[in-house]
A and B are shown apart, each in its own frame.
Chain A
Amino acid sequence: MAETLQFFFSGLTVGAVYALVALGFTLIYNASDVINFAQGEFVMLGGMTTVFLALAGVPVPLAALAAVAVTVAVGLALHRFAIEPARGASAVALIMITIGASIFLRGAAQVVFDKRFHSLPHPFGTEPIPVGGAAILPQSLVVLAGAVVIVVLLWQFIDRTLLGKAVIATAANRLAARLVGIDTRRIVGLSFAVSAAIGAIAGILVTPITLTSYDVGSLLALKGFAAAMLGGIGSAVGAVLGGLLLGMLEAFSAGYISSKYKDAVAFLVILAVLLAMPQGLLGRGKVERV
């Protein structure tokens, strides 16, 4: 029982990060139909920038804020200089552009920062908190709390503000949104900025536990993408659910089956879900008009 609880905690922590990455995917996808493979690089940039600013003597909270700002700037630049000029390109071409961006950002991080692993101090210490025979790191709680705050804030923003409603309108029908006077280009830019911020915050929160390096982004992007698919792409609730589920699957298969095949089990289950429910868990079916 204690063992199961332990796996549950670690699955929850990792799952929260996957959920945030998947949420970033979903935001950009809804606004622009672009699958942004550079999403994982946002996570990396958040962690790495904080680490290097902290090493330079900047207090960690300030460094974290600056890191989010830097990542948002990168997200906006990505939209302005790579996505915007490619408007109307095919889905595959757009995927290749974001993969190109991801390779570029990784290369840049390797030059600007370095190739080693880095960590951040745990703000609440490293003493595990005992819960029902298992233990949970204070930082895991921070990650979870951060994820909950982000999800609630995002939900409030989308649901309660005029700008949020414009985002929904853009996602529902871009042409109709433009016709009622919404600047859809700015909305897409906004979605890139918010996605980048979410990724950066996830990266900063999780760095004390999982460490970070210039190349952590690619696997995170794949897992986040898979989580978004698992939940059904385009559904924000699905993204969060898919992320948590994927984290659990990984943790339990690592614990009970084999840690070597942890990633394999995750992808196997995703394949199974996709084959049984080709639209993901919460995705809507699309009807092809001829």
Chain B
Amino acid sequence: MRLFDRAWLRPLALALAAAIHSGDPAIGQSLSLEERIAQCKACHGEDGNSRLEKIPSIAGQPEFFIVNQLVLMREGVRRIEAMSAAVKGLTDADIEALAKFFANLPARASDEPIDPQLVKRGGELATKLRCGSCHLPNFAGHQQMPRLAGQRVDYLIASLKEYRDNTRSGADTLMSVVVQGLSDADLAALAHYAASR
């Protein structure tokens, strides 16, 4: 799917993903697992590693994390406009199958440039904030806590800002306090460090 491997095509990719269900509710009910997987790949990457700006990689995420997020999106607790149509009508079994598939794909870092200075500063911050306590020392994630290693830098920065500014819907409260009061530069350092792991 080289078609979506460019940032300027991101809105189109999002729209496609959303269109698949909203257009015809009957289609959403009858998709096979293969079709659903293809739908995820349209934005999150052929191999589950996203090449699109601010769209997260889902390859190698903890299975439970993917299940949890998809359920919360389906329930309307995690409100993400681009995902709401795709998760509508997913059964628990659909969600478990999708999670299993993407959890078993190898995570690969994006081709975004990584700044070694920021990595160094981010590493010091991460030790101080004890990120590895929940995300594991290798940042591979665990249960409901996501993998950060190899995640897209731009997505990590955007997410950290949402936590800091309390604009992330349906998130638990602990992440907000961890990043409270950090500057944009701090968040960028954390993102570069995590992505480089």
**A and B are interacting partners:** no
